[in-house]
Amino acid sequence: MLLIRKDHKITETENILLMRIGKSLGFDPEFCERTINEILNNNFVEDTPPVFSDKDLAVKFIKYGLAVIFSDNEIHPAEENWLIATAEKNDIDIISFSELKKEYSIRQQSSPKLEVDDLIVSQ
């Protein structure tokens, strides 16, 4: 959600992708829809790149972020710079980020499937 604020617009493909991720994580669809619709104008949301307790979680977050920025076939510099800042804050070097970006660029062209699509959240 934080990432889609960076270019000040939410495309239909970003919306669909975020709804998929929210559903896979067990969030109520109405909550996801409301959050997506309100995220651009919510002044209480901090745009600070997150710091994760586990580097693997940070890598997954960056991968999902890359899926979002590639989803509309338009990589906005503010979105990419925010992901780079997230990588840096989580001790992921720029070379590793560039490799993830290249991998995701190729993956999105061949198969837009995400790891989160296979999650099953028990309630």
Q: What percent of the chain has pLDDT over 90?
A: 25
Q: Does a structural domain hold residue 39?
A: yes
Structural domain including 67 reads 3-118
Q: Does a structural domain hold residue 16?
A: yes
Q: Does a structural domain hold residue 56?
A: yes
pLDDT at 89: 95
Rounded-to-integer distance, Cα 73 and Cα 50, Å: 25
Q: Does a structural domain hold residue 123?
A: no
Contact 68, 3 (CB under 8 A): yes
- The pLDDT tens digits for 14-60 are 888 888 888 877 889 999 999 998 988 888 888 899 999 989 888 88
Domain count, the chain: 1
Q: Does a structural domain hold residue 72?
A: yes
Q: Does a structural domain hold residue 70?
A: yes
